[in-house]
Amino acid sequence: MPQPIFAGLSAFPLTPADEAGRVDVEGLQRLLARLVEADVQSIGLLGSTGTYMYLSREERLRAVTAAVECVQGRVPVIVGVGTLRTDEAEALAQDAAAAGADALLLAPVSYTPLTEEEAFRHFEAVATATDLPLCIYNNPSTTHFAFSDGLLQRLASVANIKAVKMPLPKNMEFAAELSRLKPNLPDGFAIGYSGDWGCSDALLAGADCWYSVVAGLFAKPAAALTKAAMQGDAAEAARLDAPFMPLWDLFKTYGSLRVVYAAAEHLKLLHAKPPRPLLPLSSDIMPALEAAIAALEG
């Protein structure tokens, strides 16, 4: 019986590219091969860590094609298709489906703030543009749009919308949030979380998925932490989470994207920099990052 796509550990890798935004296919496939080897449950391609909003339609397709070629069906590939215009998001979804993606991830990207009705129609159109299952990307810190419980319930009735990727709740009250959401959503509708430093607690509370930035580089320790948390072993999860703490602190201070670019460079996996106008971490932060990586690998 096939495993659910939106469950377990979903690893979100960087999408290395040059200064002109052309995807480094070789570098991307090198990152993806590590994820396949670590036996993650899915790969979140072109998420926020994958800098989807900094890439053209052509380069996004190049990334999806390279990923499908590398993974060869061994791990489901979930592709981010967020963009400003609905017609362009539909086209991105169709590109991903044609290239062999297994599922879609959609954020409500906007310049003019969206109403709930506008968000609903946008998601409805993109979800029905292909037959692929779609995960709602609820990321208000970036998109400045937060999904109400009522909107999630309404969207869950749309064909192909099967999951939501949630931000960390206030005061890390996962059990209360899951208890509030689940009774009003269809059976099998998956609720997962991003915000790496809280996801062990989310899984222990009954969340379905950890959408993980750190797993894009450190998939094996993240997979071990996921397994312990999903088995309800709080003591083992706490033990496995402890070495991540210095990295979580850097994520919170400098932003996870900048940190993982610097970490990939330190590990000699890539020679890419964040897309402009983002700047790399300054050299004076590198000793702390190196120590955080050493703690995780030790």
As beta bridge partners, residue 190 has 163
> Residues 168-222: pLDDT tens digits?
999 999 999 999 999 999 999 999 999 999 999 999 999 999 999 999 999 999 9
Residue 156 has pLDDT above 90, yes or no: yes
Compute the distance between CA of residue 82 and CA of residue 53 in angstroms, rounded to an integer. Answer: 7
Please state, rounded to an integer, the average pLDDT across all residues of the chain: 97
Residue 298 has pLDDT above 90, yes or no: no
Nearest Cα to 50, choosing from 250, 213, 280? 213
Position of tokens 């580089």? 217
Where does the pLDDT of residue 129 fall: very low under 50, low under 70, confident under 90, or very high at 90 and above? very high
Residue 162 has pLDDT above 80, yes or no: yes
Structure-token pair, residue 70: 């590398």
Domains parsed from the chain with CATH numbers: 8-232 (3.20.20.70)
The residue-averaged pLDDT of 157-167 equals: 97
Q: Taking the C-alpha atoms of 130, 131, 132 and 135 in order, what is their torsion angle to the nearest 10 degrees?
A: 80
**Is the separation of the CB atoms in 74 and 36 below 8 Å?**
yes
What sign does the dihedral 284-287-288-290 (CA atoms) show?
positive
By 3-state DSSP, what share of the chain in percent is helix, strand and coil, each rounded to 5?
50, 10, 35
Question: What pLDDT score does 152 carry?
Answer: 98
Q: Taking the C-alpha atoms of 181, 184, 185 and 191 in order, what is their torsion angle to the nearest 10 degrees?
A: 10
> Residues 59-102: pLDDT tens digits?
999 999 999 999 999 999 999 999 999 999 999 999 999 999 99
Structure-token pair, residue 153: 């319930």
Convert 256-269 to b/e letters by CB count within 10 Å (16 or more is b).
bbbbbbbbbbeeeb
What sign does the dihedral 183-185-187-189 (CA atoms) show?
negative
Phi, psi (rounded to 5 degrees) for 260: -70, -30
As beta bridge partners, residue 212 has 11
Is 86 annotated to bind a ligand? Reply is no
Residue 2 has pLDDT above 80, yes or no: no
**Does the predicted model carry a pTM greater than 0.95?**
yes
Catalytic center residues? 137, 165
> Residues 225-266: pLDDT tens digits?
999 999 999 999 999 999 999 999 999 999 999 999 999 999
Position of tokens 């096939």? 2
Residue 103 has pLDDT above 60, yes or no: yes
